[in-house]
Amino acid sequence: MIGLVDCDCFYVSCERLFDPKLRGRPVICLSNNVI
């Protein structure tokens, strides 16, 4: 298992651009990509 801490909130900022309902709410981005 690999964990990534996004210190500058880049991934969350991108998600909030695509879904404005997320603004002002705590957000966690997950991925299930298998390499």
Residue pLDDT, tens place only, 1-35: 677 776 778 888 888 899 989 888 888 877 776 66
What letter represents residue 22's amino acid? L
pLDDT of residue 1: 67
The predicted structure's pLDDT at residue 21 = 93
Residues 6+ apart with CB under 8 A from 15: 22, 27, 29
Residue with tokens 């981005």: 29
Q: Are 27 and 15 contacting, i.e. CB atoms less than 8 angstroms apart?
A: yes
This prediction's pTM: 0.55
Cα 29 vs. chain centroid, distance in angstroms? 3
Q: Are 31 and 14 in contact (CB under 8 A)?
A: no
pLDDT score at 35:
62
